[in-house]
């Protein structure tokens, strides 16, 4: 029996990770800020899949609360076998007009939380000789789209490096780089993307299914869907000047 800890577990991609992991029999540790929503989702998952579900209320921008999650990952008597670093959000305000405190909170969630939790999980998992770390990044990391793109570039690079360092330990690390996904993310960020349909909009269930398969294969980077694989390849090989000119103001390139 495996246990998976998922951050940002109550909605969107995180919720779908919980559904698919529970469907294959994994017990869960759900992490999010909203206690009532966490309990509701936990109850639904227990009833639907018959797995044990633990709730851990935490705001990952708060260092003390983040440390509680890191400590849970490090518990030897209640091991976590799979970490899904999914929590994230975007800012609709252009960088020069935003409040620096908001930008710092964004980086605490998108960057520092991933760093701290990946470190705690890697240390505990390598001691046991098995485990899987999945960090949800974005194709935005290949763009020049402000702090969000910079944060996602960090997550992808960190995960690729970790994947190499973990080779031969029985532990893998995978960065998942989606594009646009049909979730409530853009609405919560105050970003209008119209009808949210068409070939560039991904279904969360398909995305997570492909991401889990890539993680099982030990791939360092997973770019779900043929269309985003092509886009990511192009962005990696285009001259950066072209990418900069093509990048419009966008706080988030995916999810």
At residue 241, the 3 state secondary structure works out as helix
Q: Which of 148, 154, 180, 228 is catalytic?
A: 148
Q: How many CA atoms lie within 13 A of 61 on its CB side?
A: 12
Which of 113, 109, 137 shows the shortest CA–CA distance to 13?
A: 137
154 is catalytic: no
- Beta bridge partners, 148, equal none
Residue pair 152/102 in contact (Cβ under 8 Å)? The answer is no
CB atoms closer than 10 angstroms to residue 121: 25
Give every CB contact of residue 213 below 8 A, 6+ residues apart in sequence: none
CA 180 to chain centre: 14
Strand, helix or coil at 119? helix
Distance between CA atoms of residues 30 and 123, nearest Å: 21
Instruction: Give the N- to C-terminal CA distance of the chain in Å, as an integer.
Output: 30
- Catalytic residues, which ones? 148
């Amino acid at each position: 029996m495996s246990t998976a800890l998922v951050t940002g577990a109550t909605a969107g991609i995180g919720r779908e990770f919980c559904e698919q992991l529970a469907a294959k029999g994994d017990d869960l540790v759900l992490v999010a800020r909203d206690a009532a929503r966490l309990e509701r989702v936990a109850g639904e998952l227990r009833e639907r899949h018959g797995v044990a579900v633990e709730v851990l209320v935490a705001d990952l921008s708060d260092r003390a609360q983040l440390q509680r999650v890191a400590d849970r990952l490090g518990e030897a008597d209640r091991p976590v076998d799979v970490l899904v670093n999914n929590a994230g959000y975007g800012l609709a305000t252009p960088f020069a007009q935003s409040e620096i405190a908001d930008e710092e909170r964004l980086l605490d969630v998108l960057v520092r939380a991933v760093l701290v939790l990946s470190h705690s999980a890697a240390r505990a998992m390598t001691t046991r000789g098995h485990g899987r770390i999945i960090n949800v990044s974005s194709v935005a990391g290949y763009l020049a789209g402000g702090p969000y793109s910079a944060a996602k570039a960090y997550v992808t690079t960190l995960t690729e490096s970790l994947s190499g360092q973990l080779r031969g330990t029985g532990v893998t690390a995978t960065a998942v780089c989606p594009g646009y996904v049909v979730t409530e993310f853009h609405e919560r960020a105050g970003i209008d993307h119209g009808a949210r349909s068409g070939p560039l909009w991904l279904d969360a269930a398909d995305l997570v299914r492909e991401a889990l398969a890539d993680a099982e294969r030990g791939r360092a980077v997973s770019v779900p869907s043929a269309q985003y694989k092509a886009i990511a390849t192009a962005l990696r090989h285009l001259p950066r000047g072209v990418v900069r000119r093509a990048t419009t103001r966008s706080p988030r390139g995916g999810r």
